[in-house]
Chains A and B, each alone.
Chain A
Amino acid sequence: MTHEADQNLPPVDTRGEFAFPEKHAFDAGYGLSEKTIDYICDAKGEPDWLRDFRKAALRRFLEMPMPTHWAPSEISGVDFEQIRYYLAQGTPAKKSWDEVPEEIKRTFERLGVPEQERAFLAGVDAQYDSETAYNNMREELSKKGVIFVNPTEGLTRYEPIFRPWFGKVIPVGDNKFSALNHAAFSGGSFIYVPKGVKLAQPLQAYFRINSESLGQFERTLIIADEGAELMYMEGCTAPKYDSATLHSGVVELVALKGAKIQYVTVQNWATNVYNLVIQRGIAMEDAQVRWIDCNLGSGLTMKYPAVVLRGRRARGEVVSISMARDGQLQDTGARMIHAAPETSSNIVAKSISIGRGRASYRGEVQVQRGATNCRNHTECDALLLHAESRTDTYPAISVHGNSSGVQHEASVSQVDEEMLFYMQQRGLTRAQAMSLAVNGFINDLINEFPMEYSVELRRLIDLEMEDSVG
């Protein structure tokens, strides 16, 4: 690319401040009622049992209180009446890249998904607003018996596979937001990997909110059958709008005996988005569930990936990075429920608070009665960049019995002024030096992300430092 051509391009904006013309065939309007549910079901052509299921969930949602015990008070800012509950383009899911609308292709381009990567990906489930717009599964995936579909398709075409686990890891009545998702879910991925199938390539999905006051309630259910292995990657950016947008997804992972699931999220919504996501995995005997989570955007994020260790020797892990800038509260963390003997878990969480940003770690580790010889290690470190920055740590650890070892460590630190001075003396700007220092702070965690994400993450941090320090 020539220098001139470079200058003609709009400036790179990685936060997703895009806007595209809206043309939605189906629009359920604002607020949530039985009528909205009927509308969603009709548009999707869903079976009656699912319609009844959604309506029952709606009743739970309406009667349940907002969470109080495990939530920051900022959550009260969510106005359920101001949220649009269903949008779809009215076009069926595309099978080949050529059929994908130009507008969406352009979105991908600006999100920086390289062309060759798209071809390379094992299966792209790219979501435009609430409905699957592009769903291209490579032949070899289908040959291996892997199912990668949207929720409606999963619950209708593959009902015997998905229905038994649907809403079992995260039940309807878990909390108000899980009830909401059960009532209004639309979009997301249902994946089944058969026994012993190990996927070398990660599966990916791109989510994108592109409409004012659009609530997106995607629903993901991944089942890895015995001995299966997969990695799923989910990244999002969102256009910036004036009124708040609610994103309240539910992700359920089921790792059967000896299976391994890694779930990677990079979240970079605009700051008017409430990002309240429930992620929970269940790990049976010798299975592993690993959440790799990075929260950069949204005004309020509440996300605490959990692993329920249900089988002997199951293993759970959460690697979490969050960055809170002015006007942001990143309330993130992890939960590990040791419900079987000899299970082990590991949590590493690092947060960076910039300006008046606030990052909180909220965690829970439980070693239940009968879960003998369990191990957990938790480490959370916070970096404060400015005098007005804030950080909090709220872990809760419960241990039963005398055979398990549980350890928790947390620290708060600042960027060392001597180190900044040293780098500046060598000719780096303060922003560059700060960027290096921040990158250094989370370097070990960034390396846990797949290559394409880690490069992107480092670039985001560089841009952020330029904005806030430079």
Chain B
Amino acid sequence: MMNKDAPLPELPDRLNENWRYGRPHQFATELAGRMDGRGKGKLTTNAPQECILHTLSPDADALPLSIGSDYFLRRAAQEQSDVLRIVLPKGEWGTEEAPLRIRCHVDSFYAPRLCVELQPGCRAHILEEHLHGSNSALVCLRSYTVHPNAELRLELRETGDNASCAMNISRIQCGENAHARQLSSYSGLAWVREETTGELCGAGAELLLLSANRPEKGQWIDQRCLQLHHAAGARSRALYKNVLRGASTCIFGGNIRVEPNAHESDAYLSNLNLMLSPEATVHSLPQLEIMADRVRCSHGTASAPIDPEQLFYLRSRGIGETDARAILADAFLNEVYLLFRQP
């Protein structure tokens, strides 16, 4: 178990590469302002009772890996919020139409721990919803362990008002031939920080990290992901897309790290932003750290306004400018949903 009395690590500053362009001090202050010593919120699921545990198991209690946020990780742990642990054995759990649900209601400050384990041969569709009350803050420590030959499709939807904020520090581990997909989307919150570490621990493992967002007004979405290839012969993809309106800001930091001996890794990382407002800002930090051979790794990022040729094509077919722009913005994000749903 983590030692709650251990001294807090230092608050990350702007020299911390994982917080480049970010606002660590503001986030820390705003989280602290909502803390009152008792976590307030509720973590529920419709998973069968026999799969649910409220204590951590010794082999699953390692803290999720943070990407620059050990300070927040420990801070959340000190708040003593709930633990929800779900162990799904071999079999089908949920479908695309009727997924297994995990609901997180956030009232004021809530810092729960969510551990989901998919045992070998398990196939699960999970919808994880984070529902914020007004002026609430969530620091959610999530870990998903996908054992060999298991398959996870996980959709994370976070909704709140412009006085609420969220940090999701997540770890997704994929064993041999395990397949995992996560699609995250955030709407309405003042700010969001998402840190997702995807670990590929066995040959044939496949990980797909997706995100689609439409920030507006002064919203701030700060996402960092790490595709960590420990084992040879695994595959990972990350696609983060944003449609920016108003004076919103998106920060994306992604890294493909291929450890020595993780040969024949196949990884791709992409961050694409559609800029709809003259006041919107994007910071993109896609990285590669390759220490193995025979790999196929690449990344790409692009930030651009709507393509005027596409806009003209739609308008030449009689579609008005406002509608045409809306269609193109939807289409831009559509790629993400299609990837999530594809067989």
Residues of A bordering B, CB below 8 Å: 68-69, 372, 382, 384, 386-414
Pairs across A and B, CB under 8 Å, 5 listed: A401-B279, A407-B301, A408-B299, A412-B288, A412-B297
Contact B288 A389, beta carbon cutoff 8 Å: no
| B 288-299 binary contact with A (CB < 8 Å = 1; else 0) | 111111111111
Instruction: Give the distance in Å from the alpha carbon of A409 to the alpha carbon of B271 in the complex.
Output: 11
B296 A413 Cβ-Cβ under 8 A: yes
Would B291 and A390 count as touching, CB distance under 8 A?
Answer: yes
CB-based contact B273/A410 at 8 Å:
no
Question: Within the complex, what minimum Cβ distance (angstroms) separates A443 from chain B?
Answer: 20
With an 8 A cutoff between CB atoms, is B120 at the interface? no
Contact (Cβ within 8 A) A397 B288: no
Interface stretch (choices B13-21, B95-103, B218-226): B13-21
A408 with B284: CB separation less than 8 A: yes
* B116 within 8 A of partner (CB): no
Knowing A68-B15, A69-B17, A413-B296, the reply to whether A397 touches B289 (Cβ < 8 A) is: no
What is the CA–CA distance of A392 and B256 in the complex, to the nearest angstrom? 9
**Bound-complex Cα distance A340 to B297 (A):** 34
Contacts of A392 in B (CB 8 A): 287-290
Closest to B252 in A: A397
Q: Is the CB of B285 within 8 A of A395?
A: yes
Question: In angstroms, how far is the closest chain A Cβ from the Cβ of B267?
Answer: 9
Which of A69, A387, A411 contacts B293 (CB under 8 A)? A387
Render B258-295 as a binary contact track against A, CB cut-off 8 A, 1 for contact.
Answer: 00100100000000010111111111111111111111
Number of interface residues of B (CB under 8 A): 40
Q: Which residue of B lies closest to A402 (CB)?
A: B275
- Select which of A387, A390, A397, A406 is within 8 A of B285 by beta carbon: A397
Of B22-30, B200-208, B302-310, which binds chain A? B302-310
Write the chain A residue with the least CB distance to B294: A414
Chain B residues in 8 Å Cβ range of A400: 280-282
The DSSP consensus for interface residues of chain B is strand
In the complex, whether B320 has a CB less than 8 A from a CB of chain A is no
Question: Which residue of chain A has the shortest Cβ distance to B16 in the bound complex?
Answer: A69
With A397-B283, A404-B305, A413-B296 given, name 12 new contacts (CB 8 A).
Answer: A384-B290, A389-B293, A392-B288, A394-B285, A396-B284, A397-B301, A399-B281, A400-B281, A402-B278, A406-B302, A410-B286, A412-B290
The reply to whether the CB of B300 lies closer than 8 angstroms to some CB of chain A is: yes
Asked if residues B290 and A390 are in contact (CB atoms below 8 Å), the reply is yes
**Contacting pair A409 B297 (CB below 8 A):** no
Cβ-neighbour of B304 out of A68, A395, A406, A413 (below 8 A): A406
Contact B299 A69 (CB under 8 A): no
Q: Is the CB of A403 within 8 A of B278?
A: yes
Contacts of B284 in A (CB 8 A): 395-399, 408
Q: Which of A392, A399, A401, A403 has the most CB of B within 10 A?
A: A399
Nearest CB in chain A to that of B304: its residue: A405
Contact, CB under 8 Å: B298 / A408: no
A378 nearest CB neighbor, chain B only: B301
Chain B residues closer than 8 Å to A391, beta-carbon distance: 288, 290
Among A397, A404, A407, A408, the most chain B Cβ lie within 10 Å of the Cβ of: A397
Contact A402–B276 (Cβ < 8 Å):
yes
Interface contact A402-B281, CB-CB below 8 Å: no
The listed residue (A387, A406, A410) touching B263 by CB distance below 8 A is: A387
In the bound complex, do residue A396 and residue B288 qualify as a contact, i.e. CB atoms below 8 Å apart?
Answer: no
Q: CA A400 – CA B250 in complex, angstroms? A: 11
**A-B complex: 4 closest residue pairs judged by Cβ atoms:** A411-B298, A402-B275, A387-B293, A405-B304
Which chain B residues border A382 with CB–CB below 8 Å? Answer: 288, 290
- Rounded to whole angstroms, the CA-CA distance of A68 and B14 in the bound complex is 11
Q: Known contacts being A410-B288, A414-B293, is A399 close to B282, with CB within 8 Å?
A: yes
Q: From B283, which residue of chain A is reached at the shortest CB distance?
A: A398
Q: Which residues of A contact B290 (CB under 8 A)?
A: 382, 384, 390-392, 412
Residue of B nearest to A390 (CB): B291
Q: Hey, which chain A residues are within 8 Å of B263, CB to CB?
A: 387
Distance in angstroms between the alpha carbons of A405 and B305 in the assembled complex? 7
In the complex formed, the residue of B with least CB distance to A377 is B302
Question: Is there an interface contact between B277 and A398, defined as CB atoms closer than 8 Å?
Answer: no
Chain B residues with Cβ below 8 Å from A414 are 293-295
**Cα of A408 to Cα of B298 in the assembled complex, Å:** 11
Per the bound structure, the CA–CA distance linking A413 and B290 in Å amounts to 10
Task: Please give me the residue from chain A that is nearest to B303 by CB atom.
Answer: A399
Nearest chain A residue, comparing its CB with the CB of B275: A402
Cβ distance A309 to chain B, nearest Cβ, rounded Å: 17
CB proximity to A under 8 Å, residues B48-79: none
How near does chain B come to A367, taking the closest CB pair, in angstroms?
8
With A386-B293, A412-B297: A397-B303 Cβ-Cβ less than 8 Å: yes
Residues of chain B lying within 8 A (CB to CB) of residue A389: 293
Alpha-carbon separation in the docked complex, A407 to B284 (Å): 11
CA distance A393 to B298 in the complex (A): 10
Minimal beta-carbon separation of A345 from chain B (angstroms)? 14
Chain A residues in 8 Å Cβ range of B273:
399
A residues in contact with B303, CB < 8 Å: 397, 399, 404-406
Instruction: Using A413-B296, A414-B293 as known contacts, say yes or no to A401 and B15 having CB atoms under 8 A apart.
Output: no
Q: Which of B282, B295, B302 contacts A398 (CB 8 A)?
A: B282
A403 to B289, CA, bound (A): 32
The closest CB in chain B to the CB of A400 belongs to B281
Q: How far is the CB of A151 from chain B (nearest CB, A)?
A: 33
Counting chain B CB atoms within 10 Å of each CB, which of A68, A384, A410, A413 scores highest? Answer: A410
Q: Which residue of A lies closest to B258 (CB)?
A: A412
A395 to chain B, nearest CB (A): 6
Are A398 and B288 in contact, with the CB atoms below 8 A? no
User: B201: shortest Cβ distance to chain A, in Å?
Assistant: 20
Residues of B within 8 A of A408 (CB): 284, 286, 299-302
Query: Nearest Cβ in chain B — how far from A356, in angstroms?
Result: 10
CA distance A128 to B297 in the complex (A): 44
Which of B277, B280, B297 has the most chain A CB atoms inside 10 A of its CB? B297
Q: Which residues of B contact A387 (CB under 8 A)?
A: 263, 292-293
| CB proximity of A405 to chain B, nearest CB, Å | 4
CB within 8 Å of A: which B1-46 residues: 14-15, 17, 20-21
Known A-B contacts A69-B17, A402-B277; A396 and B283 likewise in contact (beta carbons under 8 Å)? yes
Asked if A396 contacts B280 (CB within 8 A), the reply is no
Q: Which of B17, B21, B305 contacts A402 (CB 8 A)?
A: B305
**Complex formed: what's the CA distance from A389 to B291 in Å?**
6
B235 to chain A, nearest CB (A): 15
**B211–chain A nearest beta-carbon distance, Å:** 17
Complex interface: chain A residues within 8 A of B293 (CB): 384, 386-387, 389, 414
